[in-house]
């Protein structure tokens, strides 16, 4: 690590002691967290202690099975997924264990060819249909853990963009007949995965495939999707749990099923998450890495999210991690109201990509521009052994040099930054990294008194979209008389305060030749 910058009137020895106190290290995990460059000092940490004492108690109650998501009257149990013995009742713990066993056996049999497409042909590809955390979690697993040639190649419907669907289906072509299609929807009623499922089924069957022997559902027991899969005799169904939110579902079937289908060790992934859970369960601020992380966020943003979180992982395999954290952090903490009903507009904006590529895109502003952020560097110490130095130049050395150089340049300008270091990147360390941020988000939510486990803004957007689709249906009925209509005429007939939504709908219909003349 580069040395701490000198500070006037501060003895170098005391600087080093402060640095050591703000460096958390766990040799068993091969994990370091350095928050020494986030402006934390003894006064700041002392002021945060009462808040953290309450936060630790709240997290212990959450893990014990209390109703942590009061708005929806739900427990919050993603921590039980990697430690079933902590589930508040034996039946839930057994259910978790059974699901992991089933997932592992299913993935093993698909990869070995024991499970085929019904025509005796081995599966060649996976088409994953999921939105939000049900898409980002699997994408992170695949990008971070899949080795070349291992497991099955994955393709995604993670949007309702018809052009994206067209391109994905075209890339599969005749292999749609040997493609395993996995549909993920916790409630079973989310429109996006349902629309994707309909398009996938049409494409599979048009290429001679058999939907029932190629389709897999990941959903809650008894949901609309679960019932459809049961009635249609789908190949397999795997359970999601009411007490696991989409953004924290990566250690459920949502992340484990992709893990087994790429040949990764999901037991190690779960073990890494469980080990970090244990480390972040310690009720002492200075000895808890998630608490140190949350304290750094709180101090940097004055407890109001006044600084953005810039995530810079210095490995291509972690390129998706910043997108994953966007949902985890922003959906959890971005809230208008606190638990007391006060208007607080909390949240931390998250953006980033990867170093060193993308430091050329925005490090100039990070160093010299507006000071409204803090950087999270993520490094991996061990390089792959099959990329040798050539002409005396080692790629890993340059990558590390760029990270340390950028870190020093930001520190020289007084810009907040923290560093997370992994000894190596594998299933175990990825599980630990995810668990660290999950706990930090939970603790920070307690510090600022928001419900980190609901998403009223997302639900409001879904309701608004549904209302506009209903409006479009009504508009098409009004225009079915084949007469010319003006916007004003349509507005009056439909009793709208403004013609604007009609204009937007008509513009889309006209662009796709689905219109009756309107002026």
Q: Which residues are catalytic?
A: 331, 360, 462
3-state secondary structure of 279: helix
For residue 98, give every residue at least 6 positions away whose Cβ sits within 8 Å of its Cβ, in sequence order, or none: none
**Which strand (E) or helix (H) includes residue 277?**
helix 266-280
Whether residue 34 contacts residue 419, with contact meaning beta carbons closer than 8 Å, is answered with yes
| CA neighbor of 181 nearest in space, from 163, 165, 162, 204 | 204
What is the token pair recorded at 29? 């995990």
CA-CA distance, 451 to 449, in Å (whole number)? 7
The 3-state secondary structure of 351-412 reads EECCCCCCHHHHHHHHHHCCCCEEEEEEEECCCCCCCCCECCECHHHHHHHHHHHHHHHHHH
**Which strand (E) or helix (H) includes residue 443?**
helix 427-447
CB atoms within 10 A of CB 284: 11
For residue 231, give every residue at least 6 positions away whose Cβ sits within 8 Å of its Cβ, in sequence order, or none: none
β-bridge partners, 155: 127
Whether residue 215 contacts residue 201, with contact meaning beta carbons closer than 8 Å, is answered with yes
DSSP code of residue 339: T
CA-CA distance, 227 to 230, in Å (whole number)? 5
What is the token pair recorded at 122? 């081995």
CB atoms within 10 A of CB 171: 11
What is the token pair recorded at 347? 């949240």
Q: Residue 306 burial (CB < 10 Å; 0-12/13-18/19+)?
A: exposed
Whether residue 38 contacts residue 24, with contact meaning beta carbons closer than 8 Å, is answered with no
């Amino acid at each position: 690590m580069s040395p701490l910058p000198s500070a006037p009137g501060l003895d170098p020895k005391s600087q080093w002691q402060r640095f050591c106190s703000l460096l958390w290290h766990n040799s068993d995990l091969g994990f370091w967290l350095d928050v020494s460059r986030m402006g934390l000092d003894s006064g700041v940490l002392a002021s945060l202690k009462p808040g953290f004492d309450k936060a630790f108690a709240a997290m212990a109650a959450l893990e014990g099975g209390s109703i942590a998501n009061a708005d929806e009257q739900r427990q919050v149990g993603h921590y039980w997924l990697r430690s079933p013995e902590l589930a508040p009742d034996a039946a839930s713990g057994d259910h978790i264990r059974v699901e992991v066993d089933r997932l592992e056996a299913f993935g093993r049999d698909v990869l070995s060819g024991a499970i085929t497409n019904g025509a005796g042909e081995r599966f060649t590809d996976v088409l994953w249909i999921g939105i939000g955390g049900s898409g980002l979690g699997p994408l992170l697993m695949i990008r971070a853990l899949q080795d070349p040639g291992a497991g099955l190649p994955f393709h995604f419907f993670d949007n309702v963009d018809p052009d994206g669907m067209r391109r994905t289906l075209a890339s599969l072509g005749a292999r749609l007949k040997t493609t395993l299609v996995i549909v993920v929807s916790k409630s079973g009623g989310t429109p996006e995965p349902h629309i994707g499922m309909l398009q996938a089924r049409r494409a599979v069957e048009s290429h001679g495939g058999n939907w029932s022997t190629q389709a897999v559902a990941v959903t809650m027991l008894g949901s609309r999707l679960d019932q459809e899969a049961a009635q249609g005799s789908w190949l397999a169904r795997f359970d999601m749990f009411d007490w696991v939110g989409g953004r924290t579902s990566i250690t459920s079937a949502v992340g484990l099923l992709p893990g087994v289908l790429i040949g990764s060790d999901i037991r190690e992934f779960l073990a890494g998450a469980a080990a970090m859970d244990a480390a972040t369960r310690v009720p002492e601020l200075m000895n808890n890495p998630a608490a140190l992380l949350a304290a750094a966020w709180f101090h940097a943003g004055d407890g109001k999210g006044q600084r953005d979180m810039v995530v810079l992982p210095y490995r291509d395999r972690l390129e998706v991690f910043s997108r994953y954290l966007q949902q985890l952090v922003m959906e959890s903490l971005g809230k208008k109201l606190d638990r007391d009903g006060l208007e607080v507009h909390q949240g931390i904006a998250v953006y980033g990509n990867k170093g060193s590529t993308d430091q050329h895109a925005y490090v100039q502003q990070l160093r010299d521009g507006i000071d409204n952020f803090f950087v999270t560097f993520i490094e991996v110490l061990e390089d792959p052994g099959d990329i040798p130095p050539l002409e005396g130049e080692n790629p890993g050395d340059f990558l590390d040099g760029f990270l340390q150089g950028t870190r020093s340049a930001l520190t020289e300008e007084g810009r907040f930054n923290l560093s997370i270091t992994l000894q190596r990147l594998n299933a175990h360390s990825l599980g630990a990294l995810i668990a660290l941020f999950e706990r930090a988000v939970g603790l920070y939510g307690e510090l600022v008194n928001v419900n980190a486990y609901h998403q009223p803004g997302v639900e409001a957007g879904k309701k608004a979209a549904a209302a506009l689709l209903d409006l479009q249906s009504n508009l098409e009925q009004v225009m079915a008389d084949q007469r010319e209509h003006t916007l004003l005429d349509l507005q009056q007939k439909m009793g709208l305060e403004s013609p604007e939504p009609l204009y937007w709908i008509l513009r889309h219909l006209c662009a796709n030749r689905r219109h009756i003349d309107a002026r």
